[in-house]
Each structure stands twice: as C-alpha cells, then as structure tokens.
Structure 1
Amino acid sequence: MIEAPHYSAAGAKKKAVRLPAALFDGTVNEHLLHRAVITYLANQRQGTHDTRTRSEVSGGNQKPWRQKGTGRARQGSTRAPHWRHGGIVFGPHPRSYRLGIPKKMRQLAKKSALNARAREGALFVVDALEYEKPKTKTLAELLAKLGVAEKKVLVVTAGAAHAHNVYLSGRNLPKVHVMRFADATAYEILWADAVVAELPALGGGAATEKAEAEDA
C-alpha cells in the first residue's frame, strides 16, 4: 500500500493517507508515458506554418538576362530557389500533426504518472479546498507550508462547486496550474515538480476510513 503525506486545507500536517490501490499500485510504464507525452505535444501544434514555392512568390517569370553573351551564368527565372526572394524548396506547408492514442492507454499513462510522482514523494494530499471566494494568498500560503512554493505545482481538484474558486486563486501564481482530476493528463502530471491533490479527487475518504479501521 502506497502512502502520501496528508495535510489539512490550511496546511496543517496530518497522518499519512493510504492511496487507493486502484490508482496507485507502484507501476510506472515509461514507454507508455513517452507515447502519451508525444501525443499530447503533437496535438497542441496548430500546423498553420506555410512557405511559398517558386510558383507562389512575387516577381516576373522572365529570364533576367539573355542566355549567352553576357559572361554570367545562365538563369531562367528570378523566382528560382537560389535567388534572393525566390521560392522555398521543400518548405513546410499547412498540415495536421494530430496523433491518436487509445483511451485505455491514455488512462494507464495517467496512472503511471501519478505512481511516478508518488514514488518520488512529490504527491501531497490535502483536504477539500472549500474556498468561498477566490483568494490567491490563501493558496500561496498552503503551498508554502507544503514546501513547494518555488516549484512547478499542479493542484488537482475533485471538480466540486468550489473548484472554480480554487482555479481563480491559482491563476495569478506563475508556476501553479489548477485543474480537475478528470481533466489532468500524464503530461500535466509530469510537467509539475509537485502534485497537490484533494483527497476527494483521489477517491474521497474511503481509503482513509478503511486505513483507520484497519489501524484501530
């Protein structure tokens, strides 16, 4: 059973929480993580790059000078690639870089990323962040108490009604990303140096209650 440090919403340290075995079994599939990250980055590309060929650049298509008698090399067009302002050979043109990955592989990659962060001790579990209104200072103080204020942090929420206030609280912190657990991908988890997850986002209090019952 994998455990993670547990904190209150105010940053007070609590007893370590046992993470749900359905998500945290210690397995890290690096090949799957690589494919998931490559797919994610490829799908972020717009693919709108474009260059002009010799048929598209401006300029006359006449010979710049006669074929013979000038002492210079023969030239057929000022739009040729070796001329200044000429066309581009084999340049990029609009295309789609989109890649696909099966849903189960995407889910397993996310699971592997979570296990990797848990194995490194970079996963922190906090109680539900029930912010009544957006407050950047409150979230910043929490991260400082966790010792991750200077790191790239991914804050994962359960997606409840208060999640939007948490998002607004972290929007002004340059190294902090806030998103719902359902929306987080393997890339975002690996991007972060530390992952701060709400306990309900990882399966609620079921794991904690079961652990406490076993310890009793």
Structure 2
Amino acid sequence: MAVVDVLNTKAEKVSEIELADYIFDVPAKSNVLHEVVRMQLACRRSGTASVKHRSDVKGSGRKLFRQKGTGRARRGDIKSPLLRGGGSVFGPDPRSYAYSVPKKVKKLALKMALSSKYRTNELVVLDNFDLDKIQTKKFIGIINQLNIKKALIVIDEKNEKLELSSRNVPNIKVMRYEGLNVYDILKYNHLVLLEPSIKSIEGRFVV
C-alpha cells in the first residue's frame, strides 16, 4: 500500500498513513478522464439562451394591408419574422446540455484523478485544519507555511471557520468529501486531504 506523510499546519511530519492501492494506485487513462470532465462541464451549462418566436411577440394579428393592389410585397401581421420587431424563426430555446456516463466510469475516473495527484507528489495530507476563529489572514499564513498554491482542500465534515476563512482567497477551494469530483481535482495544482476525510473517501468506493 502507498504510504504518505501526515503533516500538521506548520508543515511538520507527525505520522504516516497508508492509502488504499485500489484508489490511489490506478493507472490514468486520458480518454476516461476527458469523458467525465466533459460530462461535468456540460451539466454545468445553463442552457438559458432564448428568443421570442412569432407566437411570443406581442402585437395584433390583423393583416397590415390588403393582399393585392398596393404594389408592395404581401404581408401578414406585424409579428412576421420579416419585419423589425417580429418574431425570430430559428433562434435558440432553453435546453439542457446535461448527459450522464455510467457510474462505473465516474468511479474509475475519480480513482484515476486521485492516483494522479499521488504519483505527481501533489497530494498533501493534514492531521487537522482547525482555526480558532474566522480569520482569512491566519488561513493564508497556514497555506504559505505548507507552500501550496491553487489547492483543493477536502474536509470530512462541516467546518464553518475554515470554509468562511478561505472563501475570499483566490485559487483555493474548500470542499466536503461528498462533493469530491474529477474536474476540481484536476483543476487545482494540489490536493489537500484532511486525515479523517480519507476514510470517508474510501467509503465511497465500497460496493
């Protein structure tokens, strides 16, 4: 099993922890990671682009002028797409871009993403991340002490002091283990796991 050092908030080694090979030692396949990330980003698209079609435009249904005898082109009502202010013909309507991939593929991609962070030495395990109060300055000091930038911090349970202290810090995201996903793992340079969250993450893969 893979073994990593457990650090405290002063970047000092306090112990070691074994990581499950079936989660943190999985060969990465770019096509699997790409498919899951693409799915995640598609599900985040709002799909709210919309236009008014002929039936949505406010206006009278009366014919503007008689069909013949004026020398002009034939016209219907004022909502015609040919007239300014009329309805659009082929404009977009609200839609969902979401689609899904098999659960097994999602789990495999998550294992690959976690394994990639371990193999590239971008995985940091902390024994805890307790703050006395909500204080961004102290949070930044700990991050600088650990010498990490653009990091995803995964916690095992609600930690209001940590979550609020970090929310205004650029390139730092605090997430509970339930929301751990492939896109965020790959997006950030470092993955910081609190030691208790590792058991919770491993529990997600138990059949």
TM-score normalised to the size of structure 1? 0.75
Query: How far off is 1:59 after superposition?
Result: 1.9
Task: Specify the code of the residue in structure 1 equivalent to 2:190.
Answer: A
Corresponding residue for residue 11 of structure 1: 11
Structure 1, 27-36 or 68-77: larger mean CA deviation: 68-77
Query: How far off is 1:48 after superposition?
Result: 4.3
Task: Establish whether residue 193 from structure 1 lines up as the match of residue 189 from structure 2.
Answer: yes
Distance in structure 2 (CA, Å) of the matches to 1:4 and 1:73: 79
Task: Specify the code of the residue in structure 1 equivalent to 2:131.
Answer: Y
Query: How far off is 1:98 after superposition?
Result: 3.4
1:167 aligns with one of 159, 163, 171: 163
| SS of residue matched to 1:73 | coil
Corresponding residue for residue 155 of structure 1: 153
| SS of residue matched to 2:124 | strand
Task: Establish whether residue 51 from structure 1 lines up as the match of residue 47 from structure 2.
Answer: no
Q: Alpha-carbon deviations, 1:102-151, whole Å to 9, x = none?
A: 333222221111122333332222222133433322321122123334x3
Equivalent residues, number: 200
Task: Specify the code of the residue in structure 1 equivalent to 2:105.
Answer: M
Instruction: Report 1:1-216 matches (<5 A).
Output: 6-12=6-12, 19-149=19-149, 151=150, 153-159=151-157, 163-203=159-199
Give the alignment's Cα RMSD to 1 decimal. 2.9
Distance in structure 1 (CA, Å) of the matches to 2:128 and 2:139: 12
Distance in structure 2 (CA, Å) of the matches to 1:13 and 1:118: 17
Q: Alpha-carbon deviations, 1:42-71, whole Å to 9, x = none?
A: 333444443221122112233334434444
Query: How far off is 1:156 after superposition?
Result: 0.8
Task: Specify the code of the residue in structure 2 equivalent to 1:142.
Answer: I
Task: Determine if contact 1:154/1:195 at 8 Å carries over to the other structure.
Answer: yes
Task: Determine if contact 1:20/1:202 at 8 Å carries over to the other structure.
Answer: no
Distance in structure 2 (CA, Å) of the matches to 1:11 and 1:168: 22
Q: 1:14 to 1:71 in 2, by over 3 A?
A: farther
Task: Specify the code of the residue in structure 1 equivalent to 2:125.
Answer: V
Task: Specify the code of the residue in structure 1 equivalent to 2:120.
Answer: E
Q: Alpha-carbon deviations, 1:139-172, whole Å to 9, x = none?
A: 21122123334x3x2111122x6x3322222122
Distance in structure 1 (CA, Å) of the matches to 2:89 and 2:30: 38
Distance in structure 2 (CA, Å) of the matches to 1:28 and 1:81: 52
Q: 1:172 to 1:88 in 2, by over 3 A?
A: same
Task: Determine if contact 2:49/2:93 at 8 Å carries over to the other structure.
Answer: yes
| SS of residue matched to 1:59 | coil
Q: 1:5 to 1:73 in 2, by over 3 A?
A: farther
Q: Alpha-carbon deviations, 1:64-116, whole Å to 9, x = none?
A: 34434444433333322232211122333333433233333222221111122
Q: 1:61 to 1:9 in 2, by over 3 A?
A: same
| SS of residue matched to 1:63 | coil
Distance in structure 2 (CA, Å) of the matches to 1:147 and 1:9: 11
Structure 1, 169-178 or 3-12: larger mean CA deviation: 3-12
Structure 1, 53-62 or 100-109: larger mean CA deviation: 100-109
Distance in structure 2 (CA, Å) of the matches to 1:24 and 1:39: 23
